[in-house]
Structure 1
Amino acid sequence: MKRVLCAVLTAIAGLSAVAGTATAAPGPRAACPDDKPGYVRCLTSYKPAVRGLADVPSGWGASDLAAAYRLPAGAGADTVVAISIAYDAPNLESDLNTYRAQFGLPACTTANGCFRKVNQRGDAGPLPAFEIGWAIESTLDVSMVSAACPACRILVVEADDPRLDNMAATEETAVRLGAKVVSNSYGARETGAAIALGKSYVHEGATIVAASGDNGFTAASFPAVLSSVVAVGGTTLARDEGSPRGWSETVWQGSGSACSAYVAKPRWQKDKNCGKRTVADVAAVAETLALYSTDVGGWITVDGTSASAPFVAGLYGRTGHLGKPGDLYGRTGFFDVVTGNNDPRLDGAKCGGDYLCVAKPGYDAPTGLGTPDGLTAF
């Protein structure tokens, strides 16, 4: 919480310039404090809004993502996509609809049946306490689902707090209430205690998606490490007018990748240098996303695989197809990301230049099979 408060105070300090004059935005700040044993943390960093910069969006918006990933025209299926999150975001519905209106997406409200928010038991109230960092995360989740699937109905299930068991409870509730896809933009270091809760992330009637983490090549992140979960890494997106696609992607430096210490190698993973489950499976943009948040003053930019995971969840929702991680392997429909690494040392030496932390043609751990080229793979 101290980190979040410092971020907000930094933004306020920036307002000392003459009214109406833009000031330089501070660097990214982690939305959530570091996790502690038995808890997860949200995987978002953001640049606080400053006067002169908060009234209009900057960063990639829904229309940019539709173009970059060649999404077809039309809104897609009306699948229920759930967001598993901790704490309450009181402004969530209104902020979501500010985002949707900005990018020409239809309204998604409680009144029209598109939006629903419940506690971890599935009740409309009482809702948990407000926590600003998790509220930013929640707003990012619903916005990215919207960007991928404008017609999807959104169910937000709010845990009392980010304890592992409470987050697992939101998975059960989401599926019980009809979610066909569940997005998880949080993580904790893989441990035996976390893995013991893995059964909550296995549902025959739903696709479970999770962010791979924001700390680069390191220990595996739960729940992304589970073999029942589609693990989503992150990329840096750029315009590339000279290419047939018109866009290019490299590994986002923070994109989580890992070789599990606990989860057995799934039969559908064929990479050679990890004897157990390798993270990630696929990837999507994770840097400089536009987001509207009342809690921090308006339009901001955010980074993190917290953006990548709900975007991929939205693609599953858009097709209406259920899927497991193994279904993706061997399919076409991906842009192969072949440049960049997620070694915290920036040179790929931590993994010896190996595919576990360096992008390579074909499968590599930071970006998995690649990023979405339309909806074919989903």
Structure 2
Amino acid sequence: MRTSPPNSPHIRGNWRRLGSAATATAALLLAGLGTAAHASAATTPHKATAKTIAAQVAKAHVEYAKLGCAATPKKGYAACNALRVTAGTTAFMEKQAALKGVTPKTISPKAASDDPTGYGPSDIQSAYGLASAASAGGSGETVAIVDAYDDPNAASDLATYRSYYGLSACTTANGCFKKVSQTGSTTSLPTADSGWAGEESLDVDMVSAACPNCNILLVEAKSASDANLGTAVNEAVKLGAKFVSNSYGGSESSSDTSYDTSYYKHPGVAITASAGDEAYGAEYPAGSQYVTSVGGTKLSTSSNSRGWTESVWKTSSTEGTGSGCSAYDAKPSWQTDTGCTKRMISDVSAVADPATGVSVYDTYGADGTGWGTYGGTSASSPIIASVYALAGTPGSSDYPAKYPYAKAGTSALNDVTSGNNGSCSTSYFCTAGSGYDGPTGWGTPEGVSAFTG
């Protein structure tokens, strides 16, 4: 759901950012949070009734309107689709409670936590076999984050996140962090926006979590239109980034193939795009044949040899990872599933369920309350971009989306075989199974070898 500006020749639906927080009081309360039992602790399940969820969602729409983030956004701007967990328990809280032998606490709506309540860098690195690569790799590589509008507190919030988790400083002064406009200016930045600030914090924090030695380039488009976000992608590549994450998207259009060549066709650059947060259905730019489309999972600790288990993220019929067969984009030569004659979404996946969400630090605007737990494929896209960075610079003529396909079915990827994100006539479009499926692609990273050419 996005649209080009009024003077654009292409009239479309509205772009929206995927999976960030609009406001602490505008959260979508998730059913069944914290229901997993731990053998090492006497835990009490916490569930939300359908009535409670409906009331919370209704309240969220009221809060969005107050912030100028209406449920139906104005033309050319993204909706504030918050997926922040502000009630119930998270998987991280359950894990900590199990270790201590106590009952997990419940997050109180409206209240920010003094400490993280979601997964942090060590969890992300453990879950995806990245600890060794994250410790030794990534130096000199730049992961670019493309978002709309300015987050004035991006640098200071990033510093707090990294300090808390014991990561090295990543600042403008030491050359690790840089924030620019879509034209590359460091001084003439877009208008600040509290809704997108949470998105930007999520994105840069996930790069820090997965690739702490990587440099971070935050490119802020002046609005959430096709042209401006695409121009920001081009600027990121112009400034030298070989890894670019995009946590936004919307409905497909016949114009997508022209946007492909204008903004996303960058051989030698790993460009990732979130598959979407509205459950089954194809979105763009995840449907571009030139990007790695990234689906979302529910990530939980386990007693298995890996220590973790994953399933398709689906909260409801309208909230979960996107997937599907593109109506417009051509099928890349390296994608060989037979049920979809055009581009199939997704390629790979990573954690996205807010119930098993990641910790983010954000202090800007009405929704900037400090530590929060976030979800959505906005988390999975920058994680995968960072895994590419740990794997090394892509081949100069390569489209790195093809790399995981060369390691399909091997131990380099965790095959996600359970769950679905909706109903579909072709089963693998929306249902996980052994091997390739739409919601999770070929699976999640187990180390970096599936992300190198």
TM-score normalised according to structure 2 size: 0.74
Residue number among 355, 360, 382 corresponding to 1:310 in the alignment: 382
Using the alignment, how far apart are the partners of 1:232 and 1:87 within structure 2? 23
Change (3 A) 1:40 1:277: farther
The corresponding residue for 1:274 is 340
Within 1, Cα distance between the matches of 2:309 and 2:287? 27
Correspondence for 1:86? 148
Pairwise CA RMSD of aligned residues?
Answer: 2.6
SS, match of residue 309 in structure 1: helix
* Corresponding residue to 1:247 among 296, 300, 308: 308
SS at match of 1:256: coil
User: Aligned with 1:173: secondary structure?
Assistant: helix
Residue 267 (structure 2) aligns with: 204
- Supply the distance in 2 between the matched residues of 1:377 and 1:168 (Cα, whole angstroms): 27
Residues 9/239 of structure 1: CA separation in 2 closer, same or farther (3 Å cut): closer
How far apart are residue 204 of structure 1 and its match?
A: 2.0
2:190 paired with 1:121: no
Question: Match for residue 260 of structure 1?
Answer: 326
Give the structure 2 partner of residue 336 of structure 1: 415
Cα distance per residue 1:240-280 (max 9 Å; x no partner):
02x11111000001111010100122222121211111000
Matched residue, 1:371? 444
Once the two structures are superposed, residues 296-317 of structure 1 have per-residue CA deviations (whole angstroms, 9 ceiling, x without a partner) of 2111111100000000001111
Tell me if 1:67 matches 2:126: yes
Q: Which residue of 2 aligns with 1:153?
A: 215
The AA in structure 1 aligned to 2:432 is: A
Deviations 1:205-250 (A, max 9, x none): 31111101111112x2111101110000000000102x11111000
Distance 1:40 1:261 in 2: 22
- Gapped runs of 5+ residues in structure 2? 1-15, 28-47, 87-107, 315-319
Summarize the Cα distance change of 1:50–1:245 in structure 2 as closer, same or farther, 3 Å threshold: same
CA distance in 2, matches of 1:10, 1:209: 28
- Report Cα offsets for 1:164-210 as digits up to 9, x if no partner: 10001001110111111110000021102343211211112311111
2:274–2:378 contact (8 Å) kept in structure 1: yes
Amino acid at match of 1:107: A
Give the structure with the larger strand fraction.
Answer: 1
Offset of residue 353 of structure 1? 6.7
* Residues 43 and 274 (structure 1), Cα distance of their counterparts in 2 relative to 1, 3 Å cut: farther
Kept after mapping to 1: 8 A contact 2:78/2:224: yes
Q: Name the amino acid aligned to 1:366.
A: P
Which residue of the partner structure matches residue 46 of structure 1?
84
Distance 2:428 2:233 in 1: 32
Task: Give the partner amino acid of 1:325.
Answer: A
Counterpart in 2 of 1:294? 363
Post-superposition Cα deviations, 1:51-75, rounded to whole Å, max 9, x if no partner, equal 7651000011111111111113214
Structure 1 unmatched ranges of 5 or more: 12-23, 344-349
Corresponding residue for 1:213? Answer: 276
1:36 and 1:205, CA in 2 relative to 1: closer, same or farther beyond 3 A? farther
8 Å CA contact retained: 1:257, 1:280:
yes
What amino acid maps onto 1:187 in structure 2?
G
Amino acid at match of 1:264: A
Q: Secondary structure at the match of 1:46?
A: coil
SS at match of 2:158: helix
Change (3 A) 1:325 1:336: same
Q: Distance in 2 between matches of 1:108 and 1:234?
A: 27
Identity of aligned residues (%): 46
CA contact (8 A) 2:206 2:382 kept: yes
Native 8 Å contact 1:212 1:279 kept in 2: yes
1:71-103 Cα distance to aligned partner (Å, 9 max, x none): 132141221111111000011111112111222
Structure 2 CA distance for partners of 1:305 and 1:51, relative to 1, 3 Å: closer
> Partner of 2:393 in structure 1?
321
Kept in 2: contact 1:283–1:368 (CA 8 A): yes
| Gap change, CA 1:210 and 1:36, over 3 Å in 2 | farther
Amino acid of the residue matched to residue 172 of structure 1?
A: N
In the aligned structure 1, how far is the partner of 2:327 from the partner of 2:278?
17
Report if the CA contact (8 A) 1:43-1:187 is conserved. no
* CA pair 83-245 structure 1, distance change in 2 beyond 3 A: same
Q: How many angstroms apart in 2 are the aligned matches of 1:37 and 1:195?
A: 21
Find the counterpart in structure 1 of residue 424 from structure 2: 351
Partner amino acid, structure 2, of 1:201: Y
Farther off after superposition, 79-88 or 67-76: 67-76
Instruction: Determine if contact 2:22/2:80 at 8 Å carries over to the other structure.
Output: no
Structure 2 distance, partners of 1:148, 1:5, is 21
Measure, in 2, the Cα distance between the counterparts of 1:325 and 1:75: 24
Q: 1:45 to 1:138 in 2, by over 3 A?
A: same
Name the CA distance, whole Å, in 2 between partners of 1:155 and 1:38: 24
**Residue 55 of structure 1 aligns to which amino acid in structure 2?**
D
Distance 1:102 1:121, change over 3 A: same
